[in-house]
Chains A and B, each alone.
Chain A
Amino acid sequence: MSHNPPFRRLLIANRGEIAVRIARGLREMGIESVAVHSDIDARCAHVLAADHAMALGGNTAAESYLDIGKILAAAKKSGAEAIHPGYGFLSENAAFARAVRDAGLVFVGPTPEAMERLGGKKAAREEAIAAGVPVIPGTEQDLGDAGLIEVAKKIGMPVMVKASAGGGGRGMRLVEREQDLAEALQAGRREAKASFGDDRMILERAVFPARHIEIQLIGDKHGHVVSLHERECSVQRRHQKVLEEAPSAVVDEALRKRMGDAAVSLAKRVGYDNAGTAEFLLDPQGNFYFLEVNTRLQVEHPVTELVTGVDLVHLQVHVAAGGKLEQLLAGKDLRPRGHSIEARICAESPETGYIPAAGLLRLVREAEGPGIRVDSGVYTGWDVPPFYDSMLAKLIVWAPDRATACARLSQALRDTAYLGIPTNVDFLRRIVDDTAFRSARLRTDMLKLRPELAEGPKEPPEDLALAAAVLCQAMAKQPSASSGAASGVAAGSVAAWQDLQGFRVFGGAS
């Protein structure tokens, strides 16, 4: 795609898996990467993946990854010419995008003007209405708690309350009874304040049963916007995505075109460039309603990459430098090919109310094999800090068809181990193996309706599990004969394993 790298050095204003993924993409383009990190993240995977690292100091997001002054200072000091914000943190902050531009640097994302027109849910909704894109009935502005409750009475329960500045489900709640509105608004405001520094809330009618369908867009600085088609992210827990896939099993060629055209017309209206995602709800009758635009790269972008064959990070960097999509995408067939599914691996315990966990990952074993991609931000020995998001890695599969992709994801999850802290790996596999998921009968509230998927099996562990546990403990204790291997490999264990693929065996000297 590229001949000369569009930048010499680029700073990644993010952490964890997305910063690793961007650093890799930059290296492929011949661009040096600069990682930034908080104190506790000094050995985080993204620091190890980058060419340079700059300490921001502090530990909380507010004193590190959200501190615009510190990030700009790091960019200046490192000689970076551009900043990629990743997702979350400052990625949708127009003031940050403006500050980057004012500092004479390139922001890898849309202009602050376009972000302002689409960033807040209220603004985005008004733009969507003006662009002729269907929206859900509700209010576009924070009318105060009393005013919002009035609107809810008018449009009817149930309603969805959301952070005006939001994204990622923070501050978002489904409220079914009028009497619960006040408390939901207050809790939403607190979460919104903590996540975005902006406690404004909006409210709209809840459409359900609904499927979550979103359109990936990429635009350049020359007025071109291209749809890279839909992703379906209907499997959600508490408004956070759990599994995402492309294409959607229920979006046909005609609907794909209608939704893509709607998203493109909205983006063109505001002069949008770089990567963005227009999110919609799809009802059982095939009506779609605009939700919001995420003015950044999404967590789930890999499924689009795998079915369209484009590299979104490469494209983002090229268009930020003024590249033309006509040239960047010349000769490419962008029609979705095969099927891709992503599973978000999080340090949380679905079995006990999705409570997030932090702590030492004593053993990490990530899946590998044909059609398997792991975008990870952790490794064995990494101590997951309590200050940030609980997502550890993303497991993404590709296969020629959806049924094979499901089977492949199930198998890959079986091969996955993150031990030392609770994770949702078993939960993900229960969903993927469930008949409703296999037959693509998806809806955004499916996990709420099927609590047993989160709770897990009730049977106590079988003897095999206890035997395996004590054998693991016994073997870890064994002195290794002469190798000094930390895990204490038993003498004589090599022969049985020499012809098995996929396992590295060492330290078996007798």
Chain B
Amino acid sequence: MKTSTEYVRDGKPVAVSAERIDGDRWRVRVGDRIYEYRAQALGDGGVRLAPVGEEFDRSFVAYGAAAGKEFMVRVNGRTHTLAKPAGRKGGGGGAADGTVRAPMTGTVLDVLCKVGDVVAADQTLVVVSAMKMEHKLIAGVAGVVQSVAAKKGGTVEQGAVLAVVEPAKSDAAKS
């Protein structure tokens, strides 16, 4: 059985696959490099892996789990959140396309723009409160507010579109 996927590294998609050779020996391809590992699943969701063929055998214990559309892996004392190339960007203010989204589920504290407003890229359009923290969501692009979906006092889901800014076309309008 072969598991193939793609992760984004340094902004570029990297093809990655794992195929069992026999027993606990696996062939792993990362881009155009091929590795051989001995790998064993642990009972608690972890995997122990040891590169084969190295004179002094180092081994690692890795823990991995899906996190939304990404995959989180913790190995060698670091956590990596690996995105799939197809995965669309998560919520958050300041998207370069002018779509202001709720960074997480919360309450709209204030709406500081209305349709037709001319806004700068760093201008706060909506203030959202989530987990007792205030988040100022900026336009992300200079332009004209096309629509405002956020209502003061309303509850919003993570990723919900709160406002849309039509990016300004002329260079002069850029902030």
* Residue positions of A touching B, CB distance < 8 A: 170, 187, 190-191, 194-195, 354-359, 362-363, 365, 380, 386-390, 413-414, 417, 419-423, 425-426, 429, 457, 460-461, 463-478, 485, 487-490, 492-493, 496-497, 503-507
What is the distance, in angstroms, from A123's C-beta to the closest C-beta of chain B?
Answer: 24
Q: How many inter-chain residue pairs (CB < 8 Å) link A and B?
A: 201
Name B's interface SS.
strand
**Chain B residues with CB under 8 A of A475:** 39, 41, 47
Interface residue ranges of B26-76 to A (CB < 8 Å): 26, 28, 30-31, 33, 35, 37, 39-49, 60, 62-68, 71-76
Report the Cα distance A464→B67, complex, angstroms.
19
**Chain B residues with CB under 8 A of A425:** 79
Report the Cα distance A475→B72, complex, angstroms.
15
What is the distance, in angstroms, from A61's C-beta to the closest C-beta of chain B?
Answer: 8
Contact with A along B81-100 (1 / 0, CB 8 A): 11000000000100000000
Question: Cβ of A487 and Cβ of B43 under 8 Å apart?
Answer: yes
Question: Cβ of A489 and Cβ of B49 under 8 Å apart?
Answer: no
**Chain A residues with CB under 8 A of B158:** 358, 386
Q: Sorted from nearest, which 7 A-B pairs have the closest CB atoms?
A: A472-B64, A362-B65, A468-B62, A493-B40, A419-B65, A474-B3, A356-B131
Question: Cβ of A470 and Cβ of B74 under 8 Å apart?
Answer: no
Question: Cβ of B79 and Cβ of A466 under 8 Å apart?
Answer: no
Question: Cβ of B66 and Cβ of A504 under 8 Å apart?
Answer: no
Question: Cβ of B104 and Cβ of A468 under 8 Å apart?
Answer: no
**Chain B residues with CB under 8 A of A505:** 42-43
Question: Cβ of A386 and Cβ of B5 under 8 Å apart?
Answer: no
Question: Cβ of B49 and Cβ of A471 under 8 Å apart?
Answer: yes
- Please pick, from A356, A420, A457, the residue contacting B66 in the complex, using a CB distance under 8 A: A420
Report the Cα distance A425→B131, complex, angstroms.
19
**Chain B residues with CB under 8 A of A507:** 43
What is the distance, in angstroms, from B25's C-beta to the closest C-beta of chain A?
Answer: 11
**Chain A residues with CB under 8 A of B33:** 463
Report the Cα distance A417→B46, complex, angstroms.
10
Question: Cβ of B45 and Cβ of A496 under 8 Å apart?
Answer: no
**Chain A residues with CB under 8 A of B60:** 464, 468
Question: Cβ of B46 and Cβ of A365 under 8 Å apart?
Answer: yes
What is the distance, in angstroms, from B29's C-beta to the closest C-beta of chain A?
Answer: 9
What is the distance, in angstroms, from B133's C-beta to the closest C-beta of chain A?
Answer: 6
Question: Cβ of B133 and Cβ of A356 under 8 Å apart?
Answer: yes
**Chain A residues with CB under 8 A of B23:** 492
What is the distance, in angstroms, from B47's C-beta to the closest C-beta of chain A?
Answer: 5
Report the Cα distance A477→B78, complex, angstroms.
24
- Please pick, from B1, B24, B71, B106, the residue contacting A469 in the complex, using a CB distance under 8 A: B71
Question: Cβ of B134 and Cβ of A419 under 8 Å apart?
Answer: no
- Please pick, from A390, A423, A429, A496, the residue contacting B131 in the complex, using a CB distance under 8 A: A390
**Chain A residues with CB under 8 A of B63:** 363, 365, 417, 419, 472
Max chain A C-beta neighbours (<10 A), residue from B20, B26, B43: B43
Given the interface pairs A414-B77, A419-B63, A465-B78, the reply to whether A473 lies near B43 with Cβ below 8 Å is no
Report the Cα distance A75→B80, complex, angstroms.
45
Query: Is B160 part of the binding interface, using a Cβ–Cβ cutoff of 8 Å?
Result: no
